[in-house]
Chains A and B, each alone.
Chain A
Amino acid sequence: MIPELGHFALILALCAAIVQAIFPLVGAQRGIASWINVTRPAAQLQFLMLAISYACLTHAFIVHDFSVLYVANTSNSQLPLLYRISGVWGAHEGSLLLWALILALWTAAVCWFSRGVPKAMVARVIGVMGLISIGFLLFILLTSNPFERLFPVPPDGRDLNPLLQDPGLAIHPPMLYLGYVGFSVAFAFAIAALLSGKLDSAWARWMRPWTNIAWMFLTIGIALGSWWAYYELGWGGWWFWDPVENASFMPWIVGTALIHSLAATEKRGAFKSWTVLLAVLAFSLSLLGTFLVRSGVLTSVHAFATDPARGVFILGFLVVVIGGSLVLYALRGPKIISTGGYGWVSREAGLLFNNVLLVVVCATILLGTLYPLALDALGMGKISVGPPYFNSVFVPLTVPLALMVGVGALARWKKDNLIGILRRLGWAAGLSLLGAFTLPYAMGEFDWSAALGIGLGLWVALGTAQGFIERLRHRKNKLAALGQLPGAFWGMSVAHLGIAMFAVGVALTSVYSVEKDLRMAPNEQYEIDEYRFTFEGVKQVMGPNYRASRGFVRVDNLDGAPVTELHSEKRIYLVQSNAMTEAGIDAGFTRDLYVALGEPLGGGSWSLRLYHKPFVRWIWYGSALMALGGLIAASDRRYRQFARRAARERGDHAAVTA
């Protein structure tokens, strides 16, 4: 009964989405106030219905209702409660329902937090989001109904993919979707602006916090995925340039460009049509990511649920949404007039340079991701493009990008002079070079990549510090002044520091990591750098739904002082008889020690993988700082003050402007 209720609520949500799309859009275009007033109730109704529907599916998981096909396929009576809740998005149907729910949540959030925005604009934004929602709800109802029943009812379910039975991965998809779907708000604002022709700095200001928050979630989602891959896949890597990883990385890059371009649009009225295009692209790439993951067009380690029949639907949807918005862009784009000229040395020029680089980076990743598909489509054989391509194109492009981060934020709007900027940053350049050529020696031996990473990291960090220095120079009470700096500045600075940390982490980890594949008998020892690893043998243990061989490895310093005790497990999940590795990790600020248990080799010996990974954690600390920066920037007082003032000025009887 409850699953049918969920199904019914889903259908009602579709009806609400149709109302939410048609009335506000037509109402805003024709200036019919009563139609515009439908916006908020329709959006809230859609959210309510999807929440009910989602709750019904979760209920089916919690009570082990194996008469629901989806539950029978992705759950099991032995599955712990946490993974029954996260199992809802453990496969295709449920993750789409989560996608739709999150879209409705973003829509409702726009309703709640945009009191200061003209009603007609809100109506258009919500209407566009309604159109997207219609597509996704149709997709779910027509091809991927999560509430389908199964008869006869199986005695037990086929269990959740063991890869997904992990706390990190349990929250990875929701974060990622919050980011993907969050870009729909920026997208909807862009389409609304194209429809109304109203593209001013107020428009950019409304859009900025939404874009920042979506970008923050996407950052968290990607970082979680990378962290998970690091400790769960058992080979110690943190990024594989897998097509699905790329699919999440591309919207992130374009989203980053969008955030920066929005700044110029808001402050200076520059790059207007470019900003609109980026907003369309960021969300289009999110949809493309969904297509690549869900259609089976590309193979990857992530191909959990693929079905070409569904691919046809998504492709059609992509053509309508992306194609439609690009047609609109081609028609209306030429009418957008950017104001505010700027010189070659100015904040605008810096942002433009940053944007061009980011888009080029995104294009190279898109090319590498789709190249195998293109060759295959042309009948030229199967190839795969791997890390060698991506690393060799990605790294050279990020170097000028990082160099610009330090400079760009210090340049003045409109016009600045290059000599002046360089003079202000002379000390930072000197220190960065000094650090680049000395600090690698502290890691053991000098290496050019490490020097580059450290130098760029220092440059970005010191450039950010210079920003603080300049803002506080003429203030008496520096500490109080620090608190008064705008959230936007704080957010930018924190995020840039995150980039610095990230760059250092990536460089040092890739240069100085030591990894050894070993055959070890019990009590055998092996030394890596300043650590001595002792294999203490393997015990058999039982988990709730798996049995495991747990290997014990003691780590001491070379002088015998104990450092840590690591456990790595080789788990066999009983239902699907899948083998999984749980790495044993001793996490530290400046280094990780990492052990992965391999195969038994007879006589108590096992194959073991031992790693010493310096500064690997800085990759995720850096990502966390970037996400935090996005949050701080979005919470800038300015956005709220402006919203309140606008609401006061217009009163509650806002005139409808078409």
Chain B
Amino acid sequence: MTTITDPPQGAFRLSMLLNDTRYRSYTFQFIALIVLIGAIAFLMSNLFSNLAAAGLNISYQFLGTPAGYDINQTLVEYSSLSTNARAALVGILNTLLVAFLACVTATIFGVIAGVLRLSNNWLVSKLMSFYVEIFRNIPVLIWIIIIFTIMTAVLPGPRAFRGDNATSSMFLDAFAFTNRGIYIPAPVWGAGSMVVVAVFILSVIGVFAYRRYATKLLYDTGRLLPTGWPSLAILFVPAILVFFVMGMPIGLEYPELKGFNFQGGIKIGGPLIALWFALSIYTGAFIAENVRAGIQAISKGQSEAAGALGLRQGRIMNLVVLPQALRVIIPPLISQYLNITKNSSLAIAVGYADITATLGGITLNQTGRAIECILLLMLFYLTISLSISVIMNIYNNSVKLKER
């Protein structure tokens, strides 16, 4: 299309590279490319001459050599003879463990606090805004250290549980809160326990099937089936029945004080608790704000309209307000999950063996392979972040308001 404003199609002149908007962007990009290549070349030449001067090279062989250090909390088989790669794997699993636990509890805290902050009860809403302001405005590292201090300096040592006039006692004879960690009963899987587990999984599927059926029935015929109690019954009754029929194959192993320490049960170390709990309450405060904003974003007309249709308060929340609020809440919620994962790297401050503490801490210091370790570390976090953002984009596209 030719319009009056199009410049005359003359021969290409060199000055057009600067003065003609059609070509100027190529000039700028060319200059930017030269500058970029120059900067990278400068940094790389510095890197290689510095490495040569220090007698180092870039090599990932250290991953195959024995790590030579112990890790107190591992999810997989590990000893000090294992390789550095294995230590990094332990770290990755520990990072994912604490991030997962903290995401779950932070969501629970955040939803409760966010909903209660909107409550008409003055005292409760003030208490919740106090919680949110206190936890949002103090660095998470300080919270981690405060809770770690409670775990190590305030809780009693195992020796306080010993003797006839022990100063501390186990909670319900099953939980021991000590300065070496929290001991909880461990499940013991006897013969036939798999049957119980299988029945339980089937019940979970059954609950979903029942709810689908109830919804379908509602839409087809208008009959409303109760879902609350039947779901609970489907979930637990068969599993409990099978549990007793099979002769109680699943038992609990209680922690016991033997010698100087507790034996048996599952030990959750102080650093894990500190990190988990601190990340949960800190991020919970942010999630509470997201939840509050999401609920407030739904205009009052929506709940009034639902009320005018004759819905009860609970159904207004479940069927009208929450589905719309979730669209507002979930994207920031997922970015909070991302923050939890990234903040879990603060584990290094309390000695929890996550990926930053193993690969970026001890392995780095023992092998001196700073560049390799930090690059691998960043690669790990980048992978996690990018995969979470991909999931978030998919979700955002699926709930996007369908506009004409």
Asked if A and B bind, the verdict is no
Residues of A in contact with B (beta carbons under 8 Å apart): none
Residues of B in contact with A (beta carbons under 8 Å apart): none
